[in-house]
Chain A
Amino acid sequence: MTQSNAQMRTGYAAKRKAADVVIYIVLSVMVVIWIAPIVWLILQSFRGEPGITTSYLFPKKLTFDNYIRLFTDDQFPYGKWLLNTLIVAVCSCVISTLFILMVSYALSRLRFKSRKTFLNLGLVLGMFPGFMSMAAVYNIMDIFGLKQNLFALVIVYSAGAGLGYQISKGFFDTIPRSLDEAAKIDGATRNQIFWIIILPLSKPIVVYTALTTFIGPWADYIFVSYFMKANADNYTVALGLYEMLGNQTITRYFTTFCAGSVLIAIPITILFIVMQRFYVAGVTGGAVKG
């Protein structure tokens, strides 16, 4: 440890050590509490016995059947849902990221007459609860012939993306303006500045934006549940898994639900853990470095 530590009296050091031990114990207990439900879920996903919950902790029979069933059952086409969600997530991730970067770049680094109005408008619009107008959006989709359609979901998740500019605008604000000025003197257009100079500097915020917009559709339940009605072929994983817990199916599909949940949680969790520093940087407005 540091030098000052070494110079301390041994009694103080012992006290500190004791404090550390207490912290270790507290942390361990907390980790157990935090991880236990997840472990329980994983255990249940391998359970061979039918039914909802059991009066014992460890399954008596371990099996992969629940996982196999996910891809063979035709009432709950999990594989199809997985594909749907992936398509929607990728499309809306690309569109939203592009939109957010475009809007935040324009509002951060370009100066034009109605800029202030746009900023205020964005703030006011952002305060409407997202699904307040879902019935209206559904009707609009109906007019466009897009109801109960995956494309409708992509639109719902990305059409409003322009409003999510605050965080990346904050980031763009921190890039020195002298860079733009220098490029402008060299004859670059604003279009070129955006692509050649600003975008390469914005890797963290691009990653953050892409990450959040990609994860969004995996976790959304509200819009899918309202938009897809009974069209199970176009469900996403979140809605499909929720439906498995319905009154009529839960007894037979509970362990399958667990397997489906575990399967979907693995990639998302890994993605999040790998990207967490970008996440923190995004939320705290770039306060954290590296």
Chain B
Amino acid sequence: MASKSKRAVALVLTAMMAAGAFAGCGPTETGSSGGGTTTTPSNGGGSVASTTDVSTVDMYSEEMIQTVKDAIATEAETAGGTINLTMWCSGDDRDFEKSLAKEFTELYADSRYTIKVKQQTVGEDQSGGKINESPKDGADVFSFADDQLSTMVETKALAPVGQVFYNNVIANNSADSVAVVLSGDKPYAFPKTSDNGYFMYYDKRVYTDPSMVENMDEMIATANKAGKSVYLNLTNGWYNTSFFFSAGCEISYKDGKQIAHYATPEGLVAAKAMCHLASMVDSGFMAQPGSAGDNAAVVQGFQEGKLAAAVIGTWCGPDLKNIVGADNLGAAKLPTVLMNDQQVQLDSFGGYKLVGVNAFTKFPITAQALAYYLTNPDSQLKRYNTRGLIPTANAALATDVVKNDPALQAIQAQLPFAHPQGSSVGGVYWASNIGGFGSTIVTEKGKIDDSELEKQLAELEGQMK
């Protein structure tokens, strides 16, 4: 046993050194769908190494499993042989994630310890908030949406990803998804799904041709004729930041510093574009979700036949498919909007769902091994097959069934206009009243004069410092 461990250690150390060199080269180009990288989807067996890059270790080789087991055993000693981990995931995913956790405990089963994984239901949209409420009482391993990463790093609630795991994360996942887990130059999470951004779902019975969903004003007119509306939540910062991106505002977040130049001519252009849309509320446009929240408003809207299209993400996909039928549900990139008398493509946040490990966990290695297991390419593919969530792992993305997913295609089409959240906005951005800014515009139906808009934009920019 001892010799085995030693061998593994040597392996790991070489891997780490190689990773340093690897990271120095910058993000590698990932083959977009149909590209050159042909990887065979692994089928069972636990072997997931998708590339033969020297910098990675096969996490599920026998030696490596043994090394991890030894490490877990050391951690378990301090806790009397039992490792209790708490895991948060959303209500819809609970059964699936539970099965993965079970696989994990079986994979690393050992006579020296027992691992118990307790599951609690906290949605990805809420886990960041709940962790920040009291970091030490949060789950050891939890899923969250990438916009919460920066705040959790600020509160020191997230543990940095161990180098060994991170090497594999780099090798397995698309470069964009790996970029998202960074804060500064340190990785803080494991990419899980790539569908936390938004695009557009539409009803093909209203928009019979894909050319009809390219221009927001035309879409609204068409919907209005059909007695329906187009939904885009202007009252939520996550969505309405689109306009500021498209107008060309400088938005960036680096080293805990937020830059969002909204009190500028560009900011005003964005605000006026929002006003333009808000003026069509009640005549083909719907701009806020009401008290029930976005998902509810969209699902309900389609159910009632009031919506023809909505800017939302994959999480509404299954419900919408049930309502309008799989054949009638179209997905596309965001349309263009009128800005300064020109049609401008609407940008977006490209979003990922990540798995994080609590910095205060008693069992950091076990927890990271679990987080890694939940997000390895095999698990991601399984997740796509059972839950329909778009993977980030190259191996999973390259499978035909994933490639042909309309939602994925829409996400891919939006990709050039999508901005990663981690490097654009931080906690202070979400703490500002960017949502309230949109609410005011919607409430006034866009009838706000420029000086007032400028005043509010200046206020907003002030809050983001």
Contacts and interface: CB of A to CB of B under 8 A. Distances in A.
A138 B122 CA distance: 20
B91 A249 contact: yes
B28 interface: no
A147 B315 CA distance: 33
B121 A51 contact: no
Contacts of B125: 247-248
Contacts of A250: 292-293, 295-296
B90 A248 contact: yes
Nearest to A147: B137
Nearest to B139: A230
Given A229-B133, A232-B121, A247 B300 contact: no
Nearest to B136: A142
B208 interface: no
A249 B94 CA distance: 13
Nearest to B300: A52
B123 A251 contact: no
B130 A229 contact: yes
Contacts of A52: 292, 296, 300
A251 B130 contact: no
Interface in B176-232: none
A51 B303 CA distance: 8
Contact of B296 (A230, A231, A251): A251
Contacts of A55: 304
B166 interface: no
Contacts of A53: 300
A191 interface: no
Given A147-B137, A229-B134, A230-B88, A251 B122 contact: no
Contacts of B122: 230
Nearest to A148: B137
Contacts of B130: 229-230
Interface in A66-114: 75
Interface string A248-271: 111100000000000000000000
A246 interface: yes
B251 interface: no
Interface in B116-144: 120-123, 125-126, 130, 133-134, 137-139
B120 A231 contact: yes
A238 to B, nearest CB: 17
A138 B137 CA distance: 11
B319 interface: yes
B18 interface: no
B123 A246 contact: yes
Interface in A210-231: 229-231
B321 to A, nearest CB: 14
* Range of interface residues on A (Cβ < 8 Å): 20 to 34
A173 B286 CA distance: 63
Contact of A229 (B90, B91, B94, B137): B137
Nearest to B95: A74
A247 B303 contact: no
A230 B121 CA distance: 7
Interface in B367-416: none
Interface in A132-147: 138, 147
B77 interface: no
B296 A247 contact: yes
A51 B315 CA distance: 16
A41 interface: no
Contacts of B90: 248
Interface in A9-45: none
Given A148-B137, A229-B134, A230-B139, A247 B293 contact: yes
A248 B299 contact: no
B459 interface: no
Q: Name, among A50, A229, A248, the residue most crowded by chain B CB atoms within 10 Å (CB to CB).
A: A248
A55 B305 CA distance: 11
A230 B319 contact: no
Interface in B280-338: 292-296, 299-300, 303-304, 315, 319
A138 B88 CA distance: 21
A51 B300 contact: yes
B92 interface: yes
B319 A75 contact: no
A281 interface: no
Contacts of A193: none
Contact of A75 (B121, B126, B292): B121
Contacts of B315: 248
A245 interface: yes
Given A230-B121, A246-B123, A246-B126, A51 B293 contact: no
B315 to A, nearest CB: 8
Interface in B50-101: 88, 90-92, 94
A231 B133 CA distance: 14
Contact of B123 (A148, A229, A245, A247): A247
Contact of B120 (A147, A232, A245, A246): A232
A138 B136 CA distance: 13
Nearest to B319: A251
A228 to B, nearest CB: 10
B88 A248 contact: no
Nearest to A52: B300
B377 to A, nearest CB: 26
Q: Name, among A50, A52, A230, A232, the residue most crowded by chain B CB atoms within 10 Å (CB to CB).
A: A230
Contacts of A245: 292
A217 B139 CA distance: 27
B116 to A, nearest CB: 15
A247 B91 contact: no
Contact of A248 (B92, B133, B139): B92
Interface in B147-167: none
B120 A248 contact: no
Contacts of B92: 248
A148 B138 CA distance: 12
A51 B299 contact: yes
Contacts of B300: 51-53, 251
B295 to A, nearest CB: 6
16 contacts: A50-B303, A51-B299, A51-B300, A53-B300, A75-B94, A147-B137, A230-B121, A230-B122, A245-B292, A247-B292, A248-B123, A248-B293, A248-B295, A248-B315, A250-B293, A251-B299
Report, nearest first, the 8 A-B pairs whose CB atoms are least far apart.
Answer: A247-B293, A250-B296, A251-B299, A75-B91, A230-B120, A248-B123, A230-B122, A51-B303
Given A246-B123, A248-B90, 4 more contacts: A75-B91, A230-B88, A248-B315, A249-B91
